[in-house]
Structure 1
Amino acid sequence: MATRNTDDFDAFYQATARRVVLYLFAVCGDLADAQDIAQEAYARAWQHWPKVAGFENPEGWVRAVAWRLAANRWRGVRRWWAAQARMGSPAVVTASPSPDRVAVVAALQQLPAAQRQAVALHYLLDMSVNDIALSTGAPAGTIKARLSRARTALAGLLGDHPQEVSDVASRS
């Protein structure tokens, strides 16, 4: 029986991990963080797999756990930035992403968390408004409003880069 549970979880992971990482990348703006958070969320799903497997939407459970983990990480990052501001930080050199990707990620990061979550679920995971409402517990009308406000904000933030919004949607 344990092998069957392992096989079930493995199949679940293989079917959903890419979408969850993509969602988290849009939410947090950093691929390494998205992968780390997804790994932790899936580890928690594995710990509770008999219960999670019985849920109507186990992927939604993983996304909800990942969302909370990302929020906790953001709180930690804010504390780290405050400490770095007090102490100063050494310069870090990294390979840079394309200007378009930087613009989209920066614009997404300026959205309120609830709008960013709705955009990621709708455009990157191709979830319907009703599915997002079920996944987040927010009414469908609230999700529609979040998406509308997010699109308006992104249009303003990406004024010189109107193609990036559709590029984000097309990458899902």
Structure 2
Amino acid sequence: MSTLSDDDFQRAYRYASALTGDRDSAFDVVHTAVTQWLQAAPKNVDNALAYFLRIVRNCFLADVRRAALMRWSPIEDSEAVIAVDLRAMEDIHLERAWLERAWAEFSVAEREVLFLWAVEGFTVDEISAQTGAPRGTLLARMHRLRKRFADPGPSGTGNVATGGQA
């Protein structure tokens, strides 16, 4: 099996950062590429780094294509659902406005994993099988989502239960 050095992985990460323009997305792309590299177990590759960088690029392009194909319906489309919540309408409206703002800040990949996990109730393994994303990549995304929900931060997204108000 051809081998890659730590410098090669750093180079691949820098390449993924340039492609994605985002640190977390670059990490996800490289993680997916490493998983594919290990599954392929290339033996007779003349230039292991070039081969691996091609995998990184293909993973990035697959993410871009998947994002272009995904259509998310606006939250307004859920009006037909009958509300059985007994809280004050003002509180519900504030939480909805916060949710719309938070949802817009998430990447397509984050919205996908959040929807499949929190709304549809899929396990990480089921999401991995459905999307083709490695389990570790999905766990990393979920970890970052949990951190964003727990930390109010400058964007105002924070604790879901309080609508971003700590």
Tell me the TM-score range normalised by the shorter chain: 0.3 to 0.5
Higher RCO (CA 8 Å, separation ≥ 6 residues): 1
TM-score of the two chains, using structure 1 as the length reference: 0.40
